[in-house]
Amino acid sequence: MHEISDFLDAGDAQSAAAALAELHPSDIADLLEQADEDRRELLIALLRPQFDAEILAYLSIDLRDEVIERLEPKALAAAVAELDTDDAVDVIQDLDEEAQRSILANLPPEARALVEEGLTYPEYSAGRLMGRQFVSVPEFWTVGGLLDYLRAAATSEDTDLPEEFYDIFVVDPMHRVVGSVPLSRVLRSRRGVKLVDILHEDIHRIAVTMDQEEVARLFRNYGLVSAPVVDAGGRLVGVITVDDVVDVIEEEAEADLLAMGGVGEDDLYRAVLSTARSRFRWLAFNVVTALISATVINQFTNTIAQVVALAALMPIVASMGGNAGTQALTVAVRALATKELTTANAARVIGKEVLVGLLNGMALAGIVGGIAFLWFGQSLIGLVIAGAMVINLICAGLFGGLIPFVLDRMKIDPAVASGVFLTMVTDVVGFLAFLGLATVILL
């Protein structure tokens, strides 16, 4: 890959193109992602004549749009037609409508029908993830018959055998899934053995409407490599393989991480203006909560005017509450994502967070109270901040656990929305407890 940069630096486009042709699509995607704009344009120009649409599948969505804009619809459609249906659906689903239409119109009729069908399934469903090529055979076949069939299909012209597969699906005459046989099991069995005698019946059939997160959970929990996708009637309609699921796991983990950081979606490749706009929404929300805290503080200007040291100390209480609350919140958000936090154990988990808040609140109260006393030489100031700390950390534990759980029950993504509400609570409680106690005790 460094070689290609060297060729391009030296202006040797031909050698660069030759070296590009040797690379795996995912490496080309990496190259495009790490290039600056000029270099990217140059690379796309080199790739254009024989564009491999699989590169698109590895690009982040923003960069994908950029690359697609620079390709001709016909060339793009030709490239997409070469993809497996699931990859084609994956690439097309994120495009805007016009781009979708122009690619679909240029696809061969058969591929077009499959892709259009794929797009009819709900977003993030198993139907969007699944491939349409699989090996399904009747239950009365033997291992020998299967081998002969596969060998014949491999050499036939219009084979629809998938490039790679991991399980043979055994179906009844209605095309309902009876079971599956892992390939390693086929290889171990003699020709005369009947498939019905070596198949696993107790397999995980995935409904075509199942959410992709649930699909990922199944694959992870049961160590699956491929699984049949069935329609409402139990008929085999597709297959999901573990490589699709790895992408889903990555995407879900990334989405949670970004959401908790207040970023809507990966914006690494987006232009400055569009990045700023998408992030602004989150900041605007936070302005509201910051203004609410300001209003709280503003009720105590009289107290602050009399003991100005309070102004220096009050952010400590709010920020420590925020930090402790974020700890509880992170654990809760993660446990909700992995289904480890459920109605059954919610009271216990949240109760524990309150206790943890109490313990750490007392520990911090001792430290910060002591420092405040030494700093300002007033034991009452130490007492005020210590009391406020305990109150705020208990609230932080309570709401850090409770907010994500309640949002999740309300079908709101806890990773996205929990942070704003929590900050509001820990700021308001922090300032209120500290300045309130100060007013009562010091004045």
- Tell me if 280 contacts its own copies by CB under 8 A: yes
Span of 45-53, 111-119, 228-236, 270-278 interacting with its own copies by CB under 8 A: 270-278
**Residue from the set 33, 65, 117, 413 that interacts with its own copies by CB under 8 A:** 33
**Residue from the set 23, 81, 304, 417 that interacts with its own copies by CB under 8 A:** 304
**Residue from the set 15, 106, 133, 319 that interacts with its own copies by CB under 8 A:** 319
Binding residues for its own copies, rule CB under 8 A, total 119
Span of 68-76, 106-114, 232-240, 331-339 interacting with its own copies by CB under 8 A: 331-339
Kindly tell me which of 257 and 412 has the beta carbon lying closer to its own copies: 257
- Tell me if 417 contacts its own copies by CB under 8 A: no
Kindly tell me which of 66 and 77 has the beta carbon lying closer to its own copies: 66
Kindly tell me which of 113 and 347 has the beta carbon lying closer to its own copies: 347
Token pair for 131: 């491939």
Query: What φ, ψ does residue 219 adopt, rounded to 5°?
Result: -60, -45
From the CB of 431, what's the least distance to its own copies, in Å?
A: 8
- Tell me if 18 contacts its own copies by CB under 8 A: no
206 - beta bridge partners?
Answer: 229
From the CB of 142, what's the least distance to its own copies, in Å?
A: 14
Token pair for 335: 């446990």
CB 225 within 8 A of CB 241: yes
From the CB of 172, what's the least distance to its own copies, in Å?
A: 23
From the CB of 16, what's the least distance to its own copies, in Å?
A: 17
**Three-state DSSP string of the chain:** CHHHHHHHHCCCHHHHHHHHHHCCHHHHHHHHHHCCHHHHHHHHHHHHHHCCCHHHHHCCHHHHHHHHHCCCHHHHHHHHHCCCHHHHHHHHHCCCHHHHHHHHHHCCHHHHHHHHHHHHCCCCEHHHHCECCCCEEECCCEHHHHHHHHHHHHHCCCCCCCCCCCEEEEECCCCEEEEEEEHHHHHHCCCCCEHHHHCECCCCCEECCCEHHHHHHHHHHHCCCEEEEECCCCEEEEEEEHHHHHHHHHHHHHHHHHHHCCCCCCCCCCCHHHHHHHHHHHHHHHHHHHHHHHHHHHCCHHHHHHCCHHHHHHHHHHHHHHHHHHHHHHHHHHHHHCCCCCHHHHHHHHHHHHHHHHHHHHHHHHHHHHHHHHHHCCHHHHHHHHHHHHHHHHHHHHHHHHHHHHHHHCCCCHHHHHHHHHHHHHHHHHHHHHHHHHHHHHC
Span of 97-105, 229-237, 298-306, 402-410 interacting with its own copies by CB under 8 A: 298-306
**Residue from the set 23, 263, 380, 417 that interacts with its own copies by CB under 8 A:** 263
Interaction with its own copies in 39-68: which residues (CB under 8 A)?
Answer: 58, 60
How many of the other CB atoms lie within 10 Å of CB of 368?
A: 19
From the CB of 163, what's the least distance to its own copies, in Å?
A: 8
d(CA 321, CA 48): 55
- Tell me if 315 contacts its own copies by CB under 8 A: yes
Span of 67-75, 125-133, 336-344, 405-413 interacting with its own copies by CB under 8 A: 336-344
- Tell me if 13 contacts its own copies by CB under 8 A: no
Kindly tell me which of 125 and 392 has the beta carbon lying closer to its own copies: 392
Interaction with its own copies in 215-254: which residues (CB under 8 A)?
Answer: 219-225, 242-243, 245-247, 249-250, 253-254
- Tell me if 94 contacts its own copies by CB under 8 A: no
Cα 443 to Cα 174, 265, 304, 436, distances in angstroms? 83, 49, 10, 11
- Tell me if 425 contacts its own copies by CB under 8 A: no
Interaction with its own copies in 138-167: which residues (CB under 8 A)?
Answer: 146-147, 150-151, 153-154, 161-166
- Tell me if 261 contacts its own copies by CB under 8 A: yes
- Tell me if 287 contacts its own copies by CB under 8 A: yes
**Residue from the set 18, 283, 440, 441 that interacts with its own copies by CB under 8 A:** 283
Cα 293 to Cα 290, 297, 424, 440, distances in angstroms? 5, 6, 7, 20
Interaction with its own copies in 358-397: which residues (CB under 8 A)?
Answer: 359-360, 363-364, 367-368, 371
From the CB of 108, what's the least distance to its own copies, in Å?
A: 25
From the CB of 109, what's the least distance to its own copies, in Å?
A: 28
Span of 71-79, 93-101, 279-287, 406-414 interacting with its own copies by CB under 8 A: 279-287
